[in-house]
């Protein structure tokens, strides 16, 4: 959407100005479809095995036509065929978005369809990466790629849903939703296949390599390099990271609002990015408040630093930075920061707004020692995000509003996404404190059907409603959501009066809670060390 910044695979962030830059319309798209098991009885045994875990079986069978009669086809061939077919459908949806967008009469919807096209291009990039990864994998180690593939394919679903969510007009929304239907079902099928890859390999009598030594993706070892950095980090980035750690980074551009640098604005420094540059463009941003709308283009590879901020490798890393939307509570949906960067980390940062402050849109994200403030759904999105040791502040909303800390947007049961708030504090701001019992504050509500949020080892203030969570609309998602609490403390942590939804659970088993910690949930053991931020991979206590 135009209120968001289109930043390719490295990062997406917004420094918001005094107006609402985006309107995110929360809408539930029906996830119904072909579940006819009889479909599998009319196809080959191999196709039936691959399509068995999917929800849209006829669509799955159709997507595998290219290899269905190949007697020597392997699971890798089937998965590549499914991803390739999905990619074609997303490209078709991209073309449809341009056609449907021609019927948009107002500037808002013209921008919404331009955003759709950007989002679907991101989706195509993720599918191409998935296709390549499957092709580069050996049959024995395909299961080792599961986390990466689920991460990328989950992002594809998020992009598709973001496209539809940005359209308000019912006729245009319905047309775009229908235009994406095949692509959405096929992406969900691909996710289901990847989630069941070990079982599929076993069905094909292919041994699965589950040894720890086989899981080397993004891991560092002495064989990778002698400087301790992971194999995927380029030589120039190794030098840059080492120099930054030693305080010897020479920036390409210096931004200073007082005129002591080369540029007075961040936008001006970005505009000076050399088109033929090889390597990273380093921007040093001196302390100050920069009220700008920043766009980092897809072809710009940046290391963005103030005294302590850096973007290294494939992730965006920010330290000691603030992001604010000053629209106020009357501005309604007003995002301060949107992040789609995979393996991104934010340390000692602050995000302030009211409704929809922090949009954790896609991929794996980590927040440590950060402050996030807002009112309605102020931490939302469809990413795999963990927030550790953060201060989460509920603010005083408009009259007749109530506070909801989270609104996770997991659309499919096969997505690997979820929001985890661990060892944090959830408190009211000073203006809210005197009326904190008159203005209801909830831990979250389900934006999408399979919304997943886990609050654990955190301190909850006395203003948290005894029910804990609130519905989105009627009974929507109450049976399919995944909300859990574990080992929380504080006056608002009591669970005796919590909601009785089928999808809500109080975790009592430590091993169950461990699956939502940074190690297994974000594969944090493979990349958090290189962010420079403090972290713990398991439970705090």
Tokens 């041994």, residue?
207
d(CA 494, CA 466): 7
Q: Is 55 a catalytic residue?
A: no
Residues for the chain: how many in total? 541
Cβ neighbour number for residue 502 with a 10 Å cutoff: 10
d(CA 199, CA 244): 45
Collapsing DSSP to helix, strand or coil, 317 comes out as strand
d(CA 330, CA 430): 19
Query: Which pairs from 242-249 meet CB under 8 Å and 24+ separation?
Result: 244/303, 244/305, 244/310, 245/532, 249/282, 249/284, 249/303, 249/305
Tokens 């909601």, residue?
499
Burial string for 45-61 (b: 16+ CB within 10 Å, else e) reads ebbbbbbbbbbbbbbbb
Evaluate whether 70 touches 84 at the Cβ level (below 8 Å). no
Evaluate whether 158 touches 4 at the Cβ level (below 8 Å). no
d(CA 193, CA 55): 10
Strand ordering across the sheet containing 403-408: 337-339, 358-360, 376-381, 403-408, 441-444
d(CA 413, CA 157): 11
Collapsing DSSP to helix, strand or coil, 380 comes out as strand
Question: Which one of the listed residues 115, 125, 356, 377 is annotated catalytic?
Answer: 377
Residue closest to 377 by CA, chosen among 480, 490, 293, 470: 470
Pairing of strands 350-352, 371-374: parallel
Evaluate whether 343 touches 363 at the Cβ level (below 8 Å). yes
Tokens 């430590």, residue?
510
Supply the DSSP symbol for 489: B
Tokens 């949806």, residue?
93
DSSP-derived secondary structure for 18-87: SS--------PPP------THHHHTS-HHHHHHHTT-S-HHHHHHHTTTTTT-TT--HHHHHHHHHHHHH
Strand partners, 360: 339
The residues annotated with a catalytic role in the active site are 377
């Amino acid at each position: 959407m135009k209120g968001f910044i289109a930043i390719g695979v490295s990062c997406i962030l917004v420094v918001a100005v005094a107006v609402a830059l985006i309107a995110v319309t929360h809408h539930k798209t029906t996830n119904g479809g072909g579940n006819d098991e009889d479909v599998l009885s009319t196809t080959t045994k191999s196709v039936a095995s691959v399509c068995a875990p999917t929800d849209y079986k006829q669509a799955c069978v159709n997507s595998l036509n290219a290899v269905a009669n190949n007697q020597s086809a392997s699971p890798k061939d089937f998965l590549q065929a499914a991803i390739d077919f999905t990619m074609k459908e997303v490209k078709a949806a991209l073309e449809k978005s341009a056609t449907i967008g021609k019927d948009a009469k107002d500037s808002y919807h013209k921008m919404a369809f331009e955003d759709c096209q950007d989002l679907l291009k991101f989706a195509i990039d993720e599918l191409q990466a998935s296709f390549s990864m499957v092709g580069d994998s050996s049959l024995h180690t395909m299961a080792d790629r599961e986390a990466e593939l689920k991460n990328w394919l989950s992002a594809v679903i998020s992009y598709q849903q973001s496209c539809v969510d940005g359209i308000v007009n019912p006729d245009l929304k319905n047309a775009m939703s229908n235009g994406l239907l095949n692509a959405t079902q096929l992406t969900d099928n691909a996710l289901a296949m990847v989630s069941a890859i070990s079982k599929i390999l076993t069905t094909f009598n292919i041994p699965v390599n589950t040894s720890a030594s086989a899981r080397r993706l993004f891991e560092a070892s002495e064989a990778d390099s002698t400087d301790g950095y992971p194999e995927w980090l380029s030589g120039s980035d190794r030098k840059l990271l080492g120099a930054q750690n030693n305080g010897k980074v020479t920036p390409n551009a210096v931004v200073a609002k007082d005129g002591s640098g080369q540029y007075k604005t961040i936008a001006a420094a970005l505009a000076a990015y050399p088109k033929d540059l090889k390597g990273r463009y380093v921007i040093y941003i001196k302390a100050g408040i920069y009220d700008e709308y920043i766009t980092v283009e897809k072809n710009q590879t940046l290391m963005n630093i103030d005294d302590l901020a850096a973007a290294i490798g494939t992730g965006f890393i920010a330290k000691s930075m603030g992001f604010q939307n000053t629209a106020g509570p009357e501005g309604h949906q007003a995002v301060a920061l949107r992040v789609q960067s995979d393996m991104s980390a934010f340390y000692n940062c602050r995000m302030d707004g009211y409704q929809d402050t922090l949009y954790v849109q896609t991929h794996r994200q980590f927040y440590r020692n950060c402050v996030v403030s807002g009112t309605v759904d102020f931490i939302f999105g469809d990413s795999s995000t963990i927030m550790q040791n953060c201060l989460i502040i509920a603010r005083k909303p408009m009259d007749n509003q109530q506070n909801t800390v989270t609104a996770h947007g997991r659309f499919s049961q096969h997505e690997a996404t979820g929001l985890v708030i661990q060892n944090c504090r959830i408190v009211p701001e000073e203006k809210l404190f005197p009326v904190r019992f008159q203005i209801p504050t909830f831990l979250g509500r389900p934006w999408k059907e399979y919304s997943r949020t886990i609050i654990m080892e955190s301190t909850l203030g006395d203003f948290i409603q005894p029910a804990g969570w609130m519905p989105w609309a009627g009974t929507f998602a109450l049976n399919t959501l995944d909300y859990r609490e574990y080992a929380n403390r504080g006056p608002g942590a009591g669970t005796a009066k919590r909601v009785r939804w089928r999808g809500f659970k109080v975790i009592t088993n430590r091993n169950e809670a461990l699956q939502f910690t940074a190690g297994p949930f974000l594969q944090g053991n493979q990349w958090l060390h290189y962010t420079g931020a403090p972290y713990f991979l398991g439970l705090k206590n």
